[in-house]
Amino acid sequence: MRSPGATPSSGRKGPPHVRLGSLRRRLLTAALVLVVAALVVAGIAIGLILHRFVRGQLDSRLDSQIVAIATGLEAGPNGLATAPGLDGPPFDRRRSGWYWQVRRDGTVLRSDALEGRDLDVPAGPRRPRDRDGPHPADGVDPWGRPVILRVLTLPPGAGAGPTVIAAAAPAAALNGPLREALGALALTLGVLGLCLMAGVVAQVHLGLRPLERLRRDLAQVREGRRARIPAAQPAEIKPLVAEVNALLDQGEANLERARTHVANLAHGLKTPLATLSMALASEGRDTDGRLSALVSAMDGQIRHHLRRARAAALGEAARTRLELAGPVADLRTTFVRLYAEKGVAIALDVPAGLGVACDGQDLDEMLGNLVDNACRWCRTRVRIAAAARGAGIVIAVEDDGPGLDAQAAAEALRRGRRLDESLPGHGFGLSITTELADLYGGGLALGRAGLGGLRAELTLPA
């Protein structure tokens, strides 16, 4: 027996993996098969029509000859004779395949083209409907060459048996014109097929162009160059675009909620931990360092899980591309006012159109920490510059303050480390900026500025 908590195994398997391949190739293959089939059917039908037409013309010519012979039959010295002039072209050429012959009661009259030899003529019609007129027959001439026959059997007269009149044409008279016509037909159908396939290729290309445009729009959304896919789409793609845009809206709402929770948790824990750390650093509060180690471990765990939550909330596909010039100009206005008593001048060198794939709040927090740090330590001058470097964007914040040596720069990036306790703060600005930059695949580096002070280089993806 199965335990109550066990999950029954289903004998059904999921749908088999179907390899769809390329839509373009499938459409072109289907179109090629249909076009070839249509051309083959058309070629066969037209060939049959041409055969019937040419055969009809040939039969008509032979029937006219038979009628002329039947009309000119008369009694002769041997009991049967024909009117003169029946050996006109093309029946006057010897062994040409154009022959006529009359047979009654053992008497045979024939065209000169037969050179005195007889045609092998069938006895009667093969179809009942041909009894009152000439009927078709196939045979060979006395020299073994295939000929097309038309035969008319006249009923017996007074004291005489039936009269069989036959006219023959060479099989080449049918096959030759038919071969030429079919050759021209094949060439025409081939050219038509090429034109049809060119039209199909153009139609498939035009028909799939909206999908290619949709792919580019999705790539721009993924790169942060576009927030939504444009709604102006063909009717067949509109439902798909609407669903994708709804999914983007839902993802953005989920991201905003996650970011709010992360921000609330960060603000709720960062300041108490920093205060506790500074209190324990006072003389006599933590003689053996055990409490400071516990606080440091708590801070590391909190930051680790906050970083994981923030990375999961951001995700690679949730980034948006921001122009740098606007946010940097806003930061300059803000910090010039905050440090108006100090007389700080902030110079900008950010080209128009330069942007980063980063969330706006994160960008403001990172640049705000760097600019605030530069304004605190500068004498009077701060410079913010940005430029493309490889696949990323480097934003440099420089000041004309005292700067830091290499050891002090590495120390400044540690969490909660403050190099000068005389200024207010908790020492988390640069470390937070570093963590945020790492989430976006960038980084933060400190060095010597051209102005003489500290140079902070923030690298973010383009």
Confidence of residue 256 (pLDDT cuts 50, 70, 90): confident
Q: What is the mean pLDDT of residues 443-460?
A: 88
Residue 122: φ, ψ to 5°: -60, 155
Q: What is the pLDDT at residue 12?
A: 45
Q: How many other CB atoms are there within 10 angstroms of residue 381's CB atom?
A: 19
Q: Which pLDDT belongs to residue 1?
A: 40
Residue 260 Cα distances to 12, 56, 136, 226, 253, angstroms: 44, 90, 96, 23, 11
- Rounded-to-integer distance, Cα 274 and Cα 264, Å: 16
Q: What is the pLDDT of residue 4?
A: 43
Q: How confident is the model at residue 8 (pLDDT cuts 50, 70, 90)?
A: very low
434/417 Cα distance (integer angstroms): 14
By the 10 Å C-beta count (0-12 exposed, 13-18 middle, 19+ buried), 264 is classed as exposed
Supply the DSSP string of 409-457, one letter for each residue. HHHHTSTT--S-TTS-S-S-HHHHHHHHHHHTT-EEEEEE-TTSSEEEE
159 pLDDT band, cuts 50/70/90, is: low
Nearest to 150 by CA among 125, 117, 181: 125
Higher confidence at residue 2 or residue 116? 116
Alpha-carbon distance 260 to 254, whole Å? 10
State residue 196's pLDDT score. Answer: 92
Q: Which residue has the higher pLDDT, 96 or 430?
A: 96
pLDDT at residue 415, as a whole number: 47
Considering Cα of 21, then 22, then 26, then 29, what sign does the dihedral take? Answer: negative
Is the peptide bond between 90 and the residue preceding it cis, with omega within 30 degrees of 0?
Answer: yes
Using only C-alpha atoms, the chain has a radius of gyration, in whole angstroms, of 50
Higher-confidence residue: 315 or 142? 142
The pLDDT, as a whole number, for residue 123 is 63
Exposed, middle or buried: residue 50 (CB in 10 Å: 0-12, 13-18, 19+)?
middle
pLDDT of residue 124: 59
Q: Work out the average pLDDT over 21-30.
A: 85
> What are the angstrom distances between the C-alpha of 257 and each of 44, 260, 267, 371?
70, 5, 15, 28
Residue 18 pLDDT level (bands cut at 50, 70, 90): very low
Check whether 411 has a pLDDT greater than 80. Answer: no
Three-state DSSP string of 308-353:
HHHHHHHCHHHCCEEECHHHHHHHHHHHHHHCCCCCCEEEEECCCC
Q: Is the pLDDT assigned to residue 445 strictly greater than 60? A: yes
* Mean pLDDT on 65-91: 78
146 SS3 class = strand
CA dihedral 273, 279, 280, 282 (to 10 degrees): 150
Average pLDDT of span 124-139 = 68
Give the model's pLDDT for residue 413.
67
Q: Residue 264: is its pLDDT beyond 80?
A: no
- More confident position, 11 or 179: 179
Which pLDDT score, from 0 to 100, does residue 198 have?
A: 92
Q: Which of 150-154, 238-242, 310-314, 436-440 has the lowest mean pLDDT?
A: 310-314
- Nearest CA-CA partner of 105 in 158, 59, 149, 68: 158
Q: Say if residue 342's pLDDT is above 70.
A: yes
The two structure tokens encoding residue 318: 């949730």
**How far is Cα 191 from Cα 188, in angstroms, rounded to an integer?**
5
Structure confidence at residue 395 (pLDDT): 92
Q: Check whether 141 has a pLDDT greater than 90.
A: no
Rounded CA separation 329/326 (Å): 5
Confidence band for 306, pLDDT divided at 50, 70 and 90: low
Does the pLDDT of residue 385 top 50, yes or no?
yes
pLDDT of residue 266: 67
Output the pTM of the full model.
0.51
Q: What is the pLDDT of residues 211-226, one digit of tens each?
A: 888 888 888 887 767 7
pLDDT of 79: 67
Tell me: the pLDDT tens digits for 161-210? Answer: 888 899 999 998 888 888 999 999 999 999 999 999 999 999 888 888 88
- Sign of the Cα torsion 182, 184, 186, 188 reads negative
Is the pLDDT reported for residue 322 higher than 90?
A: no
The residue-averaged pLDDT of 406-431 equals 56
Residue 78 scores a pLDDT above 70:
no
Q: What percent of the chain has pLDDT over 70?
A: 80
pLDDT band at 288 (very low <50, low <70, confident <90, very high): confident
What pLDDT is recorded for position 188?
92
What is the rounded average pLDDT of the residues 228-246?
A: 86
Mean pLDDT of 232-236: 85
